[in-house]
A and B are shown apart, each in its own frame.
Chain A
Amino acid sequence: MNKQELILKLKTIIKPYTTNTEAFDNLTEETDFINDLSINSANLVDIVLDIEETFDVVIDNTDMERMLDVKTAVEIIETKLAAK
């Protein structure tokens, strides 16, 4: 899976949690989940669970704490996939 495909999958996961559709439509690697997409911080927990399910990976608490923007999320998912 290349990075663009991964981001596309990530977008599908994030969609229900964001209330800012404009920022979502213009999502880039620099997009921040809380500040740009107005995602409730408690929902980051749900996003991580959805990522685990979609990519069949396990994301530990340390990685989860860092996962605040698209770039870091992609990085973590890529690392986990590579280690499989």
Chain B
Amino acid sequence: MKKRVVITGLGVAAPNGVGIAAFTHALKNGISGIRHDAQLQELQFSCQIAAQPQISEELKARYFTELELRGFNSSGILYGVIAGMEAWQNAGLPIEKNEEPDWDSGTVFGSGTSGIDKFRESIYKIDDLQTRRLGSTVVAQTMNSGVSAYLGGKLGLGNQVTTNSSACSTGTEAILMAYDRIQSGQAKRVLAGSTGDSGPYIWAGFDALRVCSSKYNENPEDGSRPMSASAAGFVPGSGAGALVVEELDSALERGANIYAEILGGHVNSGGQRGNGSMTAPNSTAVQRCITTALQNAGISGKDVDAINGHLTATTKDSLEIENWTKALGRNGADFPYINSLKSLTGHCLSAAGSIESVATVLQLHEDFIFGNTNCDDLHPEITALIDASKIPLQTLERTSTIIAKASFGFGDVNACILFKKFQK
């Protein structure tokens, strides 16, 4: 029999709320984390708005020592540690200075890059023949696994400590990797999550691709418009989300608070065949990812109460909805409720999947469906597929049993998870 796997802790450093309480409030009340970005303006980006978590010095000092903060310049590690430590504490797990590592606990904490600002700072020094003066932390801050290494040390994790990377599906994939490791009996609990650096050196490539929102520089909060007829690109974002994924027996034994159950899921790739490419999803693969996730979870399309989509606010939103209608075998008024967090947080790239999964789990646990903003003008291609009432513009108080979360990324990669409200 399959092991049951649950979520016992949540943590988040999102552009519209740092910490679970602030983030939940922002979700329920449609509070945006998208702001004008002076640096992007100075650097003459087309898109001069962005979404970054607002981190106080006080919060930094809570999770990092004074020594760790000397020469520290990695926003991704900063967000990841804040979210990861919050999730661990939120799960009621101890942070001890024990001699033995905790052999039963590990982390899969994804990222797209690490410490890009530290990397830039180092490159200038290297070219100035100052390599010997770089200091001791360049490797730890710029290795991709920097975030899991920092967390592993702070928590004394003795199981697998790793970082996965699969573009914008990174966070969702991390949760499924944690689920698999617990399923296979190799760990009791895994801190799953993902993080993404802030700033122009991460976001420039997307600006160059002309896929960012450039018409709302004067109205930042209107700039991210998933599912809207006037959607014209995504708003770059950053942050981190974290979930403690745990074997049910271990959670019950500890008397832990259980937020939700992970019923199952799937990751796959379209192989950049068919209509798939480096930057576009192969629809057959997307549908297959969703249907295989349903099978893996032992449910059918009709069991899904709501969807938290990938929906980045590009021209691909309609195609994503079409893929959901085909994979679930549901359309029109029969389609589940659907929402996109990106109208409030922009597209947090490698952090998107984990932040949005935290939002999904909060909806299950606290009985609401957060409202979509900036899509009063729904795209006609979308309303031709599903009923407009399935895209709530206001937060609904509603108990859901199963919510599907999917993320898609460059390289034609897909990930889909089915979360279920916990019942014993």
**Chain A residues within 8 Å of B, Cβ to Cβ:** 16-17, 42-43, 45-46, 49
Contact = CB atoms under 8 A, between A and B. Distances in A.
Interface string B6-43: 00000000000000000000000000000000000000
Nearest to B135: A46
Interface residues of B, number: 7
B260 to A, nearest CB: 39
B128 to A, nearest CB: 15
Contacts of A49: 133, 135
B253 interface: no
A43 B66 contact: no
Contacts of B136: 42-43, 45-46
Interface in B62-112: 66-67, 70
Pick the 4 closest A-B CB pairs, nearest first.
Answer: A42-B136, A45-B136, A46-B136, A16-B67
A17 B67 contact: yes
Given A46-B70, A46-B136, A49-B135, 7 more contacts: A16-B66, A16-B70, A17-B67, A42-B136, A42-B137, A43-B67, A43-B136
A33 B290 CA distance: 56
A83 to B, nearest CB: 19
A45 B71 CA distance: 13
A43 B133 CA distance: 13
Contacts of B67: 16-17, 43
B140 to A, nearest CB: 8
B106 to A, nearest CB: 23
Contacts of A16: 66-67, 70
Interface SS, B side = loop
Contacts of A42: 136-137
7 contacts: A16-B66, A17-B67, A42-B136, A42-B137, A46-B135, A46-B136, A49-B135
Interface of B: 66-67, 70, 133, 135-137
A46 B70 CA distance: 10
Nearest to B139: A42
A28 to B, nearest CB: 23
A63 to B, nearest CB: 13
Nearest to A18: B67
Nearest to A42: B136
B96 to A, nearest CB: 16
B66 A45 contact: no
Contacts of B133: 49
A17 B71 CA distance: 13
Contacts of A46: 70, 135-136
A43 B137 CA distance: 9
Contacts of B66: 16
A42 B138 CA distance: 11
B135 A45 contact: yes
B156 to A, nearest CB: 15
Contacts of B137: 42
B98 to A, nearest CB: 16
A17 B66 CA distance: 9
Contacts of A17: 67
A45 B135 CA distance: 6
